[in-house]
Amino acid sequence: MKFGIGFKLSVLLASFGLLAMGIVGYYSYASSRTTLVQAAQRDLLTALQVLGQNYQTSVDDVGNDALLLAAVPAARAAMGSGRTDGARQDLNVLADTFEAMLKIHPEYFQIRLIRADQHGLEVVRVDRDGSGLTRVEGLDLQEKAHYPYVFKALWLKRGQVYLSDITINHELGAHAGLLKPTLRVAAPVFADTERATAVVVINIDLNRMFAKLKADLPASYQVYLTNQWGDYLVHPDASQAFGFDQGRRILVQEAFEPVTTLISGTSNHVVTNLQLPAWSPGGEVAAFLRLPFGGVGEGRFVVLGLSQPIAELVRETTRVAWNTVQVILVLGCIAVLLAVLVSRAVTGPLRAMAHAVTLFSREHVVSQLPSARDDELGQLARSLNDMQTTILANMQEINESRRTLRHLAQHDALTGLPNRTLCDDRIQQALSQAKRDMGRLALIFVDLDDFKSINDTYGHHAGDLLLCSAARRMEGCVRNADTVGRLGGDEFMVLLATIDLEQDATLVASKIRDALSLPFDLDGSRLSITCSIGVAIYPEHGADAITLSKSADAAMYLAKDGGGNRVQPVWFGAAVTG
C-alpha cells in the first residue's frame, strides 16, 4: 500500500507534536517528583528522630519497671527458704505484683524472679497465656543460670539493668511468648549485701511494642529495626525479620547500601532512596538512625529506620501526569490503530514464541506452539516444539547424573553413610550453629576392635557385611538430626548436633557400644565384635573442627589402649590442645 506525501507529512508533524508534549510532560512530572521527595526526606528524618526517642524512652521505662520490681520488699523477702507461711505469703504478694504489672503493660510477655543460687531456679514466674495470665509453680519452674540475662545481670550494680539481644524466644514453656520476637530486661535484686541474690526479668513483646510506637505515625510509614550486624528484627514484611534464626542472613545494607556507614560507625544517621526510574510509581524514601543499645561500654547498638513509598508522596503529581498521558494517548490512538492492525498478524505468533522460549528458559515448562500453519511461522513453531522436547529430555538426564555424582562424592560406597568430606562439612555447620546459639555438640569416634581378624578369618565379604550392619545399628542409636559417618576402614564418626549435658553424649556412646556388642548373623555366620569409643564435647574439648576431632580420636585410642569395648570421654584424660 502506497501513501501520499500529505499523509506522510501529517504523520511526521503529529509525531513531532506528540513527542514534544511527552517530553514537556515528563520533565514537569520529574521536577515535581524530585521536589516532593526532598521535602519527604527532611520530614522522614525528623519523624525518625522522634521515633528513636520514643523507642529509647519505652526501653528505659521497662528498665525502670524492672528496677521497681527488684526493689519491692517482697522480692527480697521471697529469697528465703520458701517453706514458712511468711515466705509463701511474700511469694504470693510478689506474684500478685507481677500480674498487676502485666495487666498494665500488654506488651510484656513474662515477668520472673530468678535466684542467683540453685542453678538460677525461678522463684516466682507469671506468663501471658492467650488473653489471660498464668502463674507457673512447683516443678514447672526452670533453671536459667546458663542464660546471659541471668548471669550477666547478677554482675550489675544497684540501679543498673541488663538488656539482652533481641531474638526469637525458644525457651520451652514460655506460653504466649514462645517463638515470638523478644527483648529481655533484667535487674538485680539486692538483700542486705552488695552481692545480688536474684534477678527480676521482664520479657517484652517486640512486635507489640513497635505497634504501639507506630500508632502515632502516618499509615504510609514503614518501620525497620536491625541489630548491630544489620539483621532485620522488625520489617514491614514479617518473613524478612529474624532470618538468622532460620539459618539465613537478610541484611538491611543489602537493600539500603548507605546504611553500611551506620553499621561501621562512621555516621549516626543516613537518608536515602531505594531508587527506581523517575517515571516509575515504585521506590521508597528511607531514613535510618543508629541508637545505642545496652549498658555503657558494651558497644552494642541497633539501627532504627523509617520508609515511605514514593508513590504516596507523588500521588497527586502522578494523577496530573496520568491525565497528560491520557491526552497524548488519545491523540496517538489513530496512528497506533493502523500499526496494530498490521502488526498483529505478524507479531502475535512471534510474541507467543518468544514467551514460550522465555518460559522454557526460566521454568523449563514446554509450551505447545501453533504449528498447523503452512508458512514460515508454522515451520518455526514446529522447530521450537521439537527443540524444547529434546532440550528438556537432555536436561533431565544431566540433572539425574549430577544427583548421582553428588551422592557418590559425599557418601561411602559400601555403607551408604556420609564419607569424610560430608562429615567434615556437617561438623563445620554444626559448629557454626553452636557458636551462634552458644550451644554444645558432641563428636564421637567409633573404632571396631580387632576388625582385621574378622577379614582374615571369614573373608572380606563378611567384613563388608559386618560394616554395613554396624552402620545400620549405629544409625538406630541416634536422632534424625544427628549424623553417622564412615571415616574409612573400620572407623566411624557420630555427630550429635545439639546436646544439653555431657552425660547425653556418653549415654549415646554407651548405647552404640551395647548395640555393636550384640552378635551379628551374617551370611550364615554368627559374628561378635566390640568397639572402642572416644567422646569429645564442644566447646570444652575444642573450639574448631580439627581440635575437636583430635580430642575425640585421642580419647578413642585411649579406650582401645585400655582393652577396648569401652567408652572414653575426653575429660577422663584424653584431651588434646592446639
- Asked if 65 and 101 count as a contact pair (C-beta separation under 8 A), the reply is yes
Going by C-alpha positions, the residue among 180, 167, 325 that lies closest to residue 232 is 167
Residue 406 amino acid letter = R
Q: What share of the chain is helix, strand, coil (3-state, %, to 5)?
A: 50, 20, 25
Write out 149-172 in H/E/C secondary structure: HHHCHHHCCCCCCEECCCEECCCC
- Here the cell at position 6 is 500529505
Query: Helices H, strands E: what count in the chain?
Result: 15, 19
At residue 217, the 3 state secondary structure works out as coil
Q: For residue 214, count other CB atoms closer than 10 A to its CB.
A: 17
Instruction: Please tell me whether residue 531 adopts helix, strand or coil conformation.
Output: strand
Question: Is the torsion defined by CA of 145, 150, 152, 155 positive or negative?
Answer: negative
Quick one: which of 534, 530, 531, 532 has its CA closest to 572?
A: 534
Contacts (Cβ under 8 Å, ≥6 apart) of 146: 120
Distance CA 98, CA 110 (A): 9
How far is the CA of 482 from the CAs of 181, 409, 439, 489, in angstroms? 28, 20, 15, 21
Strand partners, 81: none
Give start and end residues of each alpha helix (H) in 376-476.
376-410, 420-437, 451-458, 460-475
User: What DSSP character marks residue 411?
Assistant: B
User: Rounded to whole angstroms, how far apart are CA atoms 131 and 175?
Assistant: 11
Q: Is 375 a catalytic residue?
A: no
**Count of beta carbons in the 10 Å neighbourhood of residue 273:** 16
Q: Which of 65, 127, 490, 553 is catalytic?
A: 490
In angstroms, rounded to a whole number, what is the distance separating the alpha carbons of residues 97 and 69? 8
Q: What is the DSSP letter of 322?
A: H
Query: Would you say 124 and 202 are in contact if contact means Cβ atoms under 8 Å apart?
Result: no
> Under a CB-based contact definition with an 8 Å cutoff, are residues 534 and 552 in contact?
yes
Cell numbers found for residue 197:
541474690
Positions marked catalytic: 490
